[in-house]
Chain A
Amino acid sequence: MSQRATASETVTLPDPAERLLAIRNLDAGYGDLQVLSDVHMDVADGEYVVIVGPNGAGKSTVMKSVFGLTTYMGGEVIFDETDISQRNPDEIIYEGISYVPQTGNVFGSLSVRENLEMGAYILDEVPEDRIEDVYDRFPILRERSEQSAGTLSGGQQQMLAMGRALMLDPDLLLLDEPSAGLAPDLVEDMFDRIDRINDDGTAILMVEQNAKEALRRCDRGYVLVQGQNRYEDDGTVLLNDEQVRQDFLGG
């Protein structure tokens, strides 16, 4: 493995056999603009991995690249032993990955319920029981089920987006800053839910600015800077690393 630098000597990489997602030497960007260069990342089956880093580092771009939403410039994205680096998003979803983007993550003009139905688009029938599950997780959504999603408050939209992604019971869930804009109690709540989702066996790759909390809870973490891997290690190790704290976690 070619990590440029590691925070500590003890890197616990998942066993290659267990790797659900493997990103190798990935170069990607938008149009002519290259954002990521030579990025590596792994997520094992059922693992909970967090990416942190300064604004503009390319964290969201990693997520989008996994889902085929960026301009591919080289490298590989391997999921469940298939190379998905140049596939279309609407194919990737069949592989068992769901994605909650950082912005624009609900269909504003569709109702809450229709948003959830769209989450199950690739199924033949609308899974009523799953919708009920989501409503149970986020009761406010049941209350607003006929309101159009664009008129929900910021936090409510975040919940809806999460609910939508859960409609398919994915193997891997990509979450881009799920706690942004949430009230503190909900932040806690959200992290708890994510833990629970992870406990149910869904692997998670998450970007968070609420880095301390995220690193505390995750299995492993990556620090991304200027489109390149900077550090990677167990979450708690990163959390306690002086250099990382100083540069990225704000003292």
Chain B
Amino acid sequence: MSEPEAAPRQETAVTSDAIESPLLEVDGLRKEFGGVVAVDGATFSVAEGSLTGLIGPNGAGKSTTFNCITGIHEPTGGRVTFDGQDITGLAPYTLANRGLVRTFQIARELSEMTVLENVMLAPGGQVGESVLRSVTPGLRSEVIKAEAAVRDRAWETLEFFEIDHLAHENAGNLSGGQRKLLEMARVLMTDPEMILLDEPLAGVNPTLEEKLLERIHELRREQGLTFLLVEHDMDVIMNNCEHIIVMHQGSVLAEGDAETITSDERVLEAYLGGDV
């Protein structure tokens, strides 16, 4: 579990070819649904502090890989290691508490709660999540103190994403793009080390898209977060990711930096379809 005010991690230099300090390692991951093999021995790793792209044709198994890593599905085979520890098949909340969180392909806001509540929910291990503490007269003052701190941080986060004017709005009333922002804000409040983003930009207006990418880079710079990004927009991938993994039919077809990928015959054939 991460400390509430974790010191910013030192910047890790990431080179495009050699991954020195992998934060997430996926080894021979496999997932079958009945007869369909969705993920077929995918192996790759993600360097600490990097923004890594995960691309591939539709049905390549990207979302399924995400689901297996984050505990939504139990993998049929293979191993997932995070921060040096085996996390294969652990439940989502355990992973989140260890600093590995995700956003959803379709934003899932908690619509009957306010934006602020959505964000205040996220921090892990809040004292007030214990019934005893929140009820017992003496102990409750502790809860109240912690709550004030969480609230203040929540406001800051909302300001960072420029949705603080919506703080008391029900999350269900936000527009599509605002929901994506909220989703990012919420995930950040968990103090993650690594965020998996499943098509965060799909359907996002280009202007907003730029803003979101800017935020992602800012978070990497300032807090040393690691990102794994699924995205179909090649402009985004090529211009932002220092490392790119290409999946095809459930396994990794190629990886490397933008140049390596765009010059890879197989990738061109399987995914990029001729020109880019």
| Residue positions of A touching B, CB distance < 8 A | 53-56, 102-103, 140, 147, 151-156, 158, 177, 180-189, 209, 211, 247-251
Contact = CB atoms under 8 A, between A and B. Distances in A.
Nearest to B206: A250
- Give the one of B178, B203, B208, B272 with max A CB within 10 A: B203
- Give the one of A182, A184, A189, A249 with max B CB within 10 A: A184
- Give the one of B202, B209, B234, B274 with max A CB within 10 A: B202
A55 B57 contact: no
Interface residues on B, range: 20 to 34
- Give the one of B207, B232, B271 with max A CB within 10 A: B232
Given A156-B59, A183-B271, A209-B202, 13 more contacts: A55-B175, A55-B204, A56-B174, A56-B176, A151-B33, A153-B59, A153-B60, A181-B58, A181-B202, A185-B57, A185-B274, A189-B273, A248-B207
Contacts of B55: 183
A153 B58 contact: yes
Given A54-B177, A182-B232, A187-B232, A154 B206 contact: no
A249 B235 CA distance: 14
A250 B57 contact: no
26 contacts: A54-B207, A54-B208, A55-B175, A55-B204, A56-B174, A56-B178, A153-B58, A154-B105, A155-B58, A156-B58, A158-B58, A177-B203, A180-B203, A181-B58, A181-B232, A183-B56, A184-B232, A184-B233, A185-B271, A186-B273, A209-B203, A209-B206, A248-B206, A250-B205, A250-B206, A250-B207
Contacts of B209: 250
B7 interface: no
Contacts, number: 90
Contact residues of B: prevailing secondary structure: loop
A186 B208 contact: no
Interface in B221-247: 232-234
Nearest to A53: B205
Contacts of A153: 58-60, 63
B175 A56 contact: yes
Given A56-B177, A187-B232, A180 B202 contact: yes
B232 A151 contact: no
A55 B208 contact: yes
B106 interface: yes
B38 to A, nearest CB: 8
Nearest to B180: A55
A55 B178 CA distance: 8
A156 B61 CA distance: 12
Interface in B36-80: 36, 55-60, 63
Interface string B107-127: 000000000000000000000
A182 B231 CA distance: 10
